[in-house]
Amino acid sequence: MTDTGGAQVRLDAREKVTGAALYGADRVPPGLVHAAFATATIARGRIVTIDVSGAEAVPGVLFAVTRFGEDELGPASFVMGGGYGTQGLQPLSHDRIAHRGQPIALVLAETPVAAAHAAELITATYEEEPFACDVDAPGAQTLLQREAIPIPFADDVVVGDADDALASSAVRVDAVYEHPSQNATPLELLSAVVQWHGDRLVVHEGTQNAGALRHGLARQLGLDPAQVEVRSPYLGGGFGQRNAQQPYLAPLALAARRAGRPVKLVLTRTQTFHQASFRPQTRHRVILGADASGRMTAAVHEVDQQTSRHDLFPAGYAKVTSRLYGIPAFRSRQRLVRNDVQTPGYMRAPFEQPGVWAFESAVDELATELRLDPLALRLANDTTHDPVSGLPFSSRHLGECLRRGAERFGWERRPLDPGTWTDADGHRIGWGVAVGAYPANVTPARARITVAGGGSVVVRTDGHEMGQGMSSAVAALVSSQLSIPASRIRVELGDTRVGAQPLTAGSWGTASTLPAVEAALTELRRVLGGRDLASAEGLSAEADNGLPAALADRAAQGLVAAAGPVYGDFAAFSFIAHFVEVRVERHTGRIRVPRVLSVADCGRVANRVTAAGQVRGGVVWGLGAALREHLVVDPRLGGFLNATLEEYPISVNADIGHIDVDFVDRPDPLLNASGVKGLGEVAMVGVAAAVTNAVFHATGYRARRLPVTMADV
């Protein structure tokens, strides 16, 4: 590999493999003290008394706080309600308990052990109220989303008259699919180090949204945003769980001010399950109509989605299911169900994973009804135009993903009828296919490139490195355009000192940041005027990615500011096709997945190494969703029974077979100058459906509830 080509590898690989990479809360400023939370043992009610005397008697404890005054701690604001927080409920500011595991006291101590021990000694008495923690629980309150959140983002998708078209369709499928709630379980526990320097607050936290933390803290603590600095060098997994200000952060800052020392908090794994955002439980009803040849004529997608009592987390399931095929009539109806839980949120492919699992299961059921090959049915309903906006897709190579994948997988060898194929050991074989899509959104970004000594450059830009390879993609671009090796490129991001750092999420990171860097490179070449880099030390060039000023203004205030997926004259989505082989063991019914092939259309592939890694990661998540992951509500106490990694199984190496990844790799001609679309989330969209479709092919068992277990087959 040439020196320049070296930029195609992961820039941070060595640091990560050697353990040299410092994550947010790995900072140890002098005088650091440690914080821990005592948490509510009820799901709903009111705190009557709290006793912290036992905690304060523990050697090394500085103090315990149960309540901050209104004058020092302002209300939290929910990121999807125009604010900054993972939820709009601020613990330690009132006596209400809204969910099991809500913090009721914060302890500061000289060591993490003393803090944790002291927190356990804190006791409380409560006035309990009945709670509802799942969509069917008595007392859960159901709202029609388009009425409860009257903004375009929360609208239903309506194209043509789906009910009328269904009434006259030759073949129909009508089925209900249940998707459980799940937790993103990033390996790096939610954590932060906060430190005051006079009246300036510095926050070290692995976050996808340093800008929101800055502005959210400023608003809650009555500071000027310029007084708050947030540094997020790496994330040990974000997956949406780190996309806004956590409820612990403002109390932590106040405790640090009271102590006059920097403070570190690491939530326990169980607290992460009970305090962090999670994928809400959903129920999907999908109705499909088709003519006898397999041309789909109408679809209905109705969803009930869990939310909290205190926030409305908007459901967006039909945005993608309405774009998978060229179906001329489509109707969604999205409802929200209020539960006594912390506010759910975005978890990798938040709507697309559950929604497409349900929809692509129904498409498979339609193929069975029609006695058609499920691949042929999908190809027959492909489209070049977005049926919702009527606009052309900026690029759509889903048909090519399917055809190329089928050839590579050997699809023609697949028998049509389910339950007819066994291997030499008598294990049943099944092959399944499913497609996925994900909106191509973009957010404002700026980049500044400065020439440093010896012909090296420093790139300061917006975006967060959460393991997806953002800094590697930036380095690959700069390396190829300036013809310098990656070793002479330093990329700084995720830091409010070098940019506004709006939310990195929705798979828009690379597609937002690269065009800004590309524009800054053009500007740099202009100011260089043919001079050599080595002779231009100190020169710098700056540019943004050209989004409208109104959006850039929102981004500068730390607010969610995304454009797309429908633009002026096109609609932009990434696409993928997955092919899955399962073996269902003869005596045990254990489901193994020896082989997955995924072919993605993400525009130009910005960095093959990190891109393939993103797809493999997404596939592993899809396997987990299909076969392992689900949160179980504790019927006695609320919250979740399986709030540990022992009892919330995610995919491990033994669950993962061979994952083959291929790309169409054709630049998107319209979305941006770099020709890239998002990849991180589309990677997992459709995987679970391909698995359960394969299980159906192996056994004849149609999964309408996840995960599928041995007991089901």
Kindly list the residues in this chain that would bind ligand MOS in the complex (CB under 6 A).
208, 238-240, 243, 346-348, 350, 505-506, 681
| Rounded Cα distance, 299 and 160, in Å | 10
Task: Tell me which amino acid residue 549 is.
Answer: A
Which residue number, 251 or 603, has a Cβ lying nearer to ligand MOS?
603
> Toward ligand MOS, which CB reaches closer, 240 or 618?
240
Do the beta carbons of residue 205 and residue 193 sit within 8 Å? yes
H, E, C per residue of 438-463: EECCECCCEEEEEECHHHCEEEEECC
Residue placing its CB nearer to ligand MOS in the complex, 34 or 464: 464
Extract the runs of DSSP E, i.e. beta strands, from 616-707. 658-663
Q: Cα(238)–Cα(252) distance, rounded to whole angstroms?
A: 21
Residue 352 among the catalytic residues:
no
Query: For residue 53, what is the DSSP state?
Result: H
Q: Are 196 and 221 in contact (CB under 8 A)?
A: no
Compare residues 363 and 623 and give the one whose CB is closer to ligand MOS: 623
What is the Cα Rg of the chain in Å? 26
Residue among 347 and 547 whose Cβ is closer to ligand MOS:
347
- Nearer to ligand MOS (CB atom), residue 271 or residue 468: 468
CB closer to ligand MOS out of 157 and 184: 184
Q: How far is the CB of 437 from ligand MOS (least distance, A)?
A: 15
Hey, what's the torsion of the CAs at 410, 412, 413, 415, to 10 degrees?
A: 140
Shortest spacing between CB 182 and ligand MOS, in angstroms: 12
The beta strands (E) that lie in 510-657 are given as 540-544, 573-584, 591-601
CA 435 to centroid of chain Cα atoms = 19
* Phi, psi dihedral angles at 576 (to 5 degrees): -155, 150
DSSP state of 503: -
CB of 618 to ligand MOS, least distance (A): 12
| Closest distance to ligand MOS from the beta carbon of 514 (Å) | 17
Nearer Cβ to ligand MOS (386/681) = 681
Nearer to ligand MOS, 86 or 195 (CB): 86
Structure tokens belonging to residue 704: 């309408």
Q: Is the Cβ of residue 243 or residue 271 nearer to ligand MOS in the bound state?
A: 243
Q: Give the nearer residue to ligand MOS in terms of CB position, either 243 or 394.
A: 243
User: Residue 623's closest CA among 712, 703, 708?
Assistant: 708
Q: Both ends of the chain: CA-CA distance in Å? A: 48
Alpha-carbon distance values, 518 to 445, 459, 544, 603 (Å): 11, 11, 9, 16
Nearest residue to 342 (alpha-carbon basis) of 636, 86, 39, 637: 86
Nearer to ligand MOS, 330 or 438 (CB): 438
Site of tokens 């020392």: 261
3-state helix vs strand vs coil in the chain, percent to 5: 30, 25, 45
Strands 457-461 and 446-451: antiparallel
Looking at the DSSP bridge assignments, the partners of residue 173 are 288
DSSP 279: B
Contacts of 555 (CB under 8 A, 6+ apart): 211, 443, 444, 462, 500, 502, 561
Task: Give the strands of the sheet with 591-601, arranged side by side.
Answer: 428-439, 573-584, 591-601, 658-663
Contact between residue 50 and residue 104 where contact means Cβ atoms under 8 Å apart? yes
Q: How far is the CB of 208 from ligand MOS (least distance, A)?
A: 6
Task: Give residues with Cβ within 8 angstroms of 155, minimum separation 6.
Answer: 146
User: Which of 178, 205, 365, 681 is an active site residue?
Assistant: 681
651, 653, 656, 658: CA torsion to nearest 10: 150
Element of type H or E holding 366: helix 352-370
| The token pair that represents 554 in the structure block | 């929102």
Q: How far is residue 593 CA from its own chain's centroid?
A: 24
Residues 6 or more apart whose CB falls under 8 angstroms from that of 265 comprise 25, 34, 35, 36, 37, 191, 192, 248, 252
Backbone φ/ψ region at 139: left (φ over 0), alpha (ψ -120 to 50), beta? left
Q: Are 308 and 76 in contact (CB under 8 A)?
A: no
Phi/psi for 375 (5° steps) reads -70, -45
Length of the chain: 713
Name the residue whose CB lies closest to ligand MOS. 240
Least Å distance, CB 680 to ligand MOS, is 8
User: Quick one: 257 exposed, middle or buried, by C-beta within 10 A (0-12, 13-18, 19+)?
Assistant: middle
Nearer Cβ to ligand MOS, position 280 or 405?
280
Indicate which residues carry an active-site annotation.
681
